[in-house]
């Protein structure tokens, strides 16, 4: 097929731009051959990331059971343009092409997620061997092309059967079922997969799924809007508690049965928006700290210290579940590394409110903190397409140093970082993503600064490899370094992809 003239011109611009990046003024590391690698410690890993529901497609085929998202997105108006993930970008059939793209761009690793309901259509019991075969094909081809697989077990997509059976994450029954599913994956794929992650962004799952009902399963108190069921005062904390226990139970199984022979490692992925006090007042500083405790502390604090942050215990009181002595033993220390997903930062202030009204009790209200996106009329940073995503590179440095200083400098993988453009961008405009290059350049500079100051960060994953199904935004948002034509599903590497390719070139010996 003849390449359109417009596309040819776009590719010429890409090549010219990438070729000229070495002359970019103010670059934080030498943008020469191997420049990005040279700026980080030897063995530092660079990869890209996606999730099963967002890229695989084949949502209701080849034996996969539905997840809570498959029913949630059928609610009219929930997803932009009523889009679905039935096909999305069809990585199920195009995994070789996508792996080849990663290899050609000089990436070391691929962080993908396994769809629980593709392995166990009912959440437990009968195995879907066609699903197992797919992940075997993917893992084997990644290894063939020299790409290290990083497998995440849960990325928002609980099997619908478990939601219907016992309300999913609201029941402690999910702990054993998740551990059984995780163990099946260790046993089946662990001879080749040496890097495991239990949950991606459990805070988002609990907050958006059970406090404001914005994500599946769409539960919240009546006072919060359109949810048909839920209790924002208690359910986010219950769901989070069961995810922490599920994580710890899976880690326990891995360590007791598989880690010694398979020689792998296991961790959890936590999102961390940096919260900066709006002013130097004590009240605003306390508000920012409450936000950090309720956000990242909610999960990492129990794993490191065996209890929830004291601020949460004090504010949430008896609505916050308690760990038994046995559970504390299981939870405390249950990670070999922590993944941090870091995109943006916000200003926080004390709204000077007394106790919230009882009928408005909920996780977000419990923070008693206000969000601000500008200070003295100056935005905290340029905004990407998503309403919440501001480009604030210094937030990366502060977030990583916070984890270092408050949680014993654990091994950290920067497991997601990126920005989005509008989904309706034409191909030529979509390829010319200079804003994304500037985003990655500035954030990696701040990550390097944290590493230089002793933060134990060992890898970095760009989000995302491909434009894909962006949850409630559907296909109206593009996070990929590879442009996908959502009609033909053809892939086109953007400028940002070529930027990574140039900077990740390995020196020949």
Return the active site residues: 201, 416
> Buried (b) or exposed (e) across 178-197, using 16+ Cβ within 10 A?
bbbbbbbbbebbbebbbbbb
User: What are the φ/ψ torsions at residue 459 (nearest 5 degrees)?
Assistant: -165, 165
**Which structure tokens are listed for 11?**
């590719």
Dihedral (CA of 496, 499, 501, 503) sign: negative
**Residue-by-residue DSSP string for 183-196:** HHHHHHHTTT--EE
Which residues does residue 356 pair with via DSSP β-bridges, in sequence order?
none
79 dihedral zone (left: phi>0; alpha: psi -120 to 50; beta): beta
60 CA to centre of own chain: 24
What span, in angstroms and rounded, lies between the C-alpha atoms of 217 and 209? 5
Give Dmax (Cα) for the chain. Answer: 68
SS3 content of the chain, % helix, strand, coil (to 5): 45, 15, 40
| Residue 228 CB coordination number (10 Å) | 9
Residue 474 near residue 483 (C-beta atoms within 8 A): no
Find residue 463's DSSP bridge partners. Answer: 49
Q: Which residue has the tokens 């220390």?
A: 333
**Beta strands 109-113 and 45-49: pairing type?**
parallel
- Judge whether 332 and 302 are in contact, CB under 8 Å: yes
Tokens encoding 440: 């990655």
Q: Which residue, among 153, 160, 158, 161, has the nearest Cα to 182 in the 3D structure?
A: 153
CA distance 47 to 102: 8
CB–CB of 157/217 below 8 Å?
Answer: no
3-class SS string, 86-121: CCCCCHHHHHHHHHHHHHHCCCCEEEEECCHHHHCC
Pairing of strands 195-200, 265-271: parallel
Measuring CA to CA, how many Å separate 87 from each of 119, 180, 193, 270? 18, 28, 26, 28
């Amino acid at each position: 097929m003849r390449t359109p003239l417009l596309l040819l011109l776009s590719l010429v611009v890409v090549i010219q731009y990438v070729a000229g990046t070495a002359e970019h003024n103010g670059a934080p590391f030498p943008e020469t051959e191997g420049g990005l690698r040279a700026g980080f410690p030897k063995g530092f890993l660079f990869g890209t990331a996606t999730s099963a529901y967002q890229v695989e497609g084949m949502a209701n085929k080849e034996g996969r059971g539905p997840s809570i998202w498959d029913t949630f997105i059928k609610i009219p108006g929930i997803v932009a343009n009523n889009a679905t993930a039935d096909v999305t970008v069809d990585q199920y059939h195009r995994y070789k092409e996508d792996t080849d793209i990663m290899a050609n761009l000089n990436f070391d690793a691929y962080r993908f997620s396994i769809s629980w309901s593709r392995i166990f259509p009912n959440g437990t019991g009968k195995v879907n061997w066609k699903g197992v075969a797919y992940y075997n094909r993917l893992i084997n081809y990644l290894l063939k092309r020299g790409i290290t697989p990083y497998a995440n077990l849960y990325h928002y997509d609980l099997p619908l059967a478990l939601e219907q059976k016992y309300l999913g994450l609201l029941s402690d029954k999910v702990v054993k079922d998740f551990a059984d599913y995780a163990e099946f994956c260790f046993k089946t794929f662990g001879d080749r997969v040496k890097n495991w992650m239990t949950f991606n962004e459990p805070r988002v799952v609990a907050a958006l799924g059970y406090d404001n009902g914005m994500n599946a399963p769409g539960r919240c108190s009546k006072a919060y809007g359109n949810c048909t069921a839920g209790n924002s005062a208690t359910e986010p904390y219950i769901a989070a508690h069961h995810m922490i226990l599920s994580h710890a139970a899976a880690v326990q199984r891995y360590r007791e049965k598989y880690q010694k022979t398979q020689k792998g490692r296991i961790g959890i992925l936590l999102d961390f928006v940096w919260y900066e006090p709006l002013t130097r007042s004590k009240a605003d500083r306390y508000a920012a700290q409450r936000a950090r405790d309720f956000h990242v502390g909610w999960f990492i604090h129990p794993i490191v210290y065996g209890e929830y942050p004291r601020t949460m215990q004090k504010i949430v009181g008896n609505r916050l579940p308690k760990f038994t002595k046995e559970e504390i033993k299981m939870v405390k220390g249950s990670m070999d590394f922590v993944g941090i997903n870091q995109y943006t930062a916000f200003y926080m202030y004390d709204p000077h409110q007394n106790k919230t009204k009882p009928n408005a009790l909920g996780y977000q209200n419990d923070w008693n903190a206000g969000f601000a996106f500008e200070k003295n009329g100056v935005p905290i940073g340029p905004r990407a397409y998503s309403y919440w995503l501001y480009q604030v590179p210094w937030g990366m440095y502060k977030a990583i140093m916070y984890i270092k200083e408050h949680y014993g400098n654990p091994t950290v993988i920067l497991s997601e970082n990126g920005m989005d453009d509008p989904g309706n961008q034409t191909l030529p405009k979509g390829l010319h993503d200079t804003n994304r290059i500037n985003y990655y350049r500035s954030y990696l500079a701040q990550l390097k600064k944290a590493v230089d100051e002793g933060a134990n960060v060992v890898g970095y994953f760009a989000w995302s490899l491909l434009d894909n199904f962006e949850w409630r935004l559907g296909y109206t948002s593009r996070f990929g370094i590879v442009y996908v034509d959502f009609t033909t599903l053809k892939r086109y590497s953007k400028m940002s992809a070529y930027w990574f390719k140039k900077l990740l070139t390995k020196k020949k010996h």
